[in-house]
Amino acid sequence: MAVQINPSILSADFARLAEEADAVTGADWLHVDVMDNHFVPNLTLGVPIVESLAKATDTPLDCHLMIEDPDRWAPQYIEAGASSVTFHVEAAAAPVRLAREIRAKGGRASMALKPATPIEPYEDLLPELDMLLIMTVEPGFGGQAFLDIMLPKIRRTRQLIDKHGLQMWLQVDGGVSASTIERCAEAGADVFVAGSAVYGASDPAAAVRALRAQAEAVCDHRATGR
């Protein structure tokens, strides 16, 4: 599986988003955290900013909606220019219908789980998704410490994906850094959201390359068994 590094603009300078997008040359996606101060206790940005950012960068946008009523709002982010939209299963009224609507509009459909939400009840939904996001911190704020207790959940999720022979991506978000990315990769993740580990570095593009190299080494080892 191909490793992907998605810098989170939650850790970027919001007054210079276009420049900050250019600063992470080599990133696979830009991860855009959308928060509504209801589903999570923080407020960030919405559809108009995503629309502007999509026009300002060639890097595809991966929008993570930490909002209430994603059934109503998620399709609008595809229309605004996002290539992938993640909704939280805890907030979605009809996750299968929503995933199908996102796909019908040409986007990749992704579902996120908070740390306390188990993956097993949603096994039958997996074929409807292009990506699954396991939160490795409580959603709402950047810069939190990685929760090691999520590693078994990442591993179980990878086993379910493999069990069904699915080509879906497994993303982790929260506290991903040089000291945690290898553990996530070993557990089965292949898409890594990194905020402060990238935008807090003196050279964000170099930080992306370094994180990718770390994850690829582990994934290659896991694939070959050597």
Which positions are catalytic?
33, 173
* Spatial distance between the Cα atoms of 40 and 120, rounded to a whole number of angstroms: 24
3-state secondary structure of 183: helix
Q: Residue 83, CB half-sphere, CA atoms under 13 Å: how many?
A: 14
Do residues 30 and 62 lie in contact, with contact meaning Cβ atoms separated by under 8 Å? yes
With b for 16 or more beta-carbon neighbours within 10 A and e for fewer, the 132-159 pattern comes to bbbbbbebbebeeebbeebbebbebbbe
Of 132, 135, 194, residue with least CA distance to 169: 132
* Spatial distance between the Cα atoms of 125 and 80, rounded to a whole number of angstroms: 26
Residue type, 44: T
Of 122, 102, 118, residue with least CA distance to 110: 102
Q: Is the dihedral of CA 105, 118, 122, 172 positive or negative?
A: positive
3-state SS track over 56-117: HCCCCEEEEEECCCHHHHHHHHHHCCCCEEEEECCCCCCHHHHHHHHHHCCCEEEEEECCCC
